[in-house]
């Protein structure tokens, strides 16, 4: 039987959470003399610590109950909170696929948690037999999967993900930062049937709000309660809550941007493959394209000198650039510049 409390760090279970003024009084009107705020101005009040209005909007858009939603100061905060809730420093371990998003390892190091790297198989898929052999490690508390994966761009096999979730006795954090660009559906609804699954999404990519630092976690209510218990009380500013809420009100805007980016991804994938110095363009389900070059370092420097900044990912995958899909004009500039890179 899965028991969440068995996985939670003892100090987190014992923790008495900070109780802020807005925990004691929920009303919106009155004379507020309870939070040592300044009575003057328009940004003088602390924001709603539980972002109720915003969660109601997200709940409608994602068709998932608001009580199953947690919001972080970007997904990066949620990753860190997972380590803090489930992994005892100096003792527990987390597993990530390799290569994958760099913040998993950084957060693990900050929390003094050992990382196990499970190498991706051919075509950047999960190597299930390699990963499964770690299930019996009693100190392995957290498996982090990223689909579509950064920097490889591909979706992971949903059936294998579900197998991992059902067979692993710890927590699976599935990072779907790029899912809006994929044809594969999100697995967020599975969080309602699997008590050990957390699915994470973000407003930074498809919604174009990287600057508003808002990430979402979908999970069962027991996990959401632990997130709320340890988060800084006012982790999403009122400016950011309002900005995201406004964007939610016009879903057609973000959907049309996602469509444009997907169209451009198809064109870029096709056109980059024709260029000199390009060895392979990997298929992408995200808003970036991983490209193997004859000499990625040289191509990177050439592009930087022409004012075009891509990411050299050669330290993770030999001779590979990760190229974000830009606007049509930006992509044309990239293609023309790469054409002249001899
Ligand atoms: C896979 C993945 N997850 C999460 C993030 C960070 O998201 P956020 O801006 O919500 O912190 C990124 C950013 O590049 C990412 O690539």
- Checking if the pLDDT of 77 tops 90, the result is yes
Q: How far is the CA of 333 from the centre of ligand 1 (A)?
A: 26
Give residue ranges with CB within 6 A of ligand 1: 74-76, 101, 146, 150, 175, 177, 202, 204, 210, 215
Residues paired with 92 in a beta bridge? none
Order across the sheet with 311-312: list the strands. Answer: 278-281, 288-293, 320-324, 311-312
Question: What pLDDT was estimated at residue 250?
Answer: 86
Question: Over the stretch 107-144, which tens digit does the pLDDT of each residue have?
Answer: 999 999 999 999 999 899 999 999 999 999 999 999 99
**Beta strands of the chain (E only): which ranges?**
69-72, 93-98, 114-119, 140-146, 171-175, 197-202, 215-218, 278-281, 288-293, 311-312, 320-324
Q: How far is the CA of 341 from the centre of ligand 1 (A)?
A: 31
Percent of the chain with pLDDT over 90: 93
Domains along the chain?
Answer: 4-249 (3.40.640.10), 252-339 (3.90.1150.10)
Q: How far is the CA of 73 from the centre of ligand 1 (A)?
A: 11
pLDDT, averaged across the chain: 96
Alpha helices in 149-207 (DSSP H): 158-167
What global pTM score does this model have?
0.97
Q: How far is the CA of 150 from the centre of ligand 1 (A)?
A: 9
Order across the sheet with 140-146: list the strands. Answer: 69-72, 215-218, 197-202, 171-175, 140-146, 93-98, 114-119
* Residue to mutate, 70, 101, 201, ligand 1, most ligand atoms under 8 Å from C-beta: 101
């Amino acid at each position: 039987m899965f028991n969440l409390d068995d996985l939670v760090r003892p100090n987190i279970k014992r923790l008495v959470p900070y109780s802020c003024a807005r925990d004691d009084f929920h009303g919106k009107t009155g004379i507020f003399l309870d939070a040592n705020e300044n009575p003057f101005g328009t940004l003088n009040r602390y924001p709603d610590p539980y972002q109720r209005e915003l969660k109601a909007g997200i709940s409608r858009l994602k068709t998932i109950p608001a009580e199953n939603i947690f919001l972080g100061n970007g997904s990066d905060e949620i990753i860190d909170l997972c380590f803090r809730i489930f992994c005892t420093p100096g003792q527990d371990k987390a597993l990530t696929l390799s290569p994958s998003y760099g913040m998993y390892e950084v957060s693990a190091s900050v929390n003094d948690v050992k990382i196990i790297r499970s190498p991706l198989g051919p075509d950047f898929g999960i190597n299930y037999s390699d990963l499964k052999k770690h299930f019996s490690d009693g100190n392995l508390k957290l498996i982090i999967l990223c689909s579509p994966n950064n920097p490889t761009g591909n979706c992971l096999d949903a059936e294998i993900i579900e197998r991992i979730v059902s067979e692993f006795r710890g927590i699976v954090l599935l990072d779907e930062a790029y899912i809006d660009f994929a044809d594969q559906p999100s697995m967020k609804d599975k969080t309602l049937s699997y008590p050990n699954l957390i699915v994470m999404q973000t407003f930074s990519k498809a919604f174009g709000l990287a600057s508003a630092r808002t990430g979402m976690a979908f999970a069962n209510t027991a996990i959401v309660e632990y997130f709320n218990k340890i988060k800084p009380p006012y982790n999403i500013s009122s400016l950011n809550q309002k900005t995201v809420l406004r964007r939610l009100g016009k879903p057609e805007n973000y959907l049309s941007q996602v469509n444009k980016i997907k169209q451009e991804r198809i064109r870029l994938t096709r056109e980059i493959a024709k260029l000199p110095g390009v060895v392979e363009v990997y298929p992408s389900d995200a808003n970036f394209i991983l490209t193997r070059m004859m000499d990625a370092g040289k191509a990177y420097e050439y592009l930087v000198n022409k004012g075009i900044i891509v990411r050299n990912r050669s330290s993770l995958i030999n001779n590979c650039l990760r190229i974000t899909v830009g606007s049509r004009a930006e992509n044309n500039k990239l293609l023309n510049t790469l054409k002249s890179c001899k």
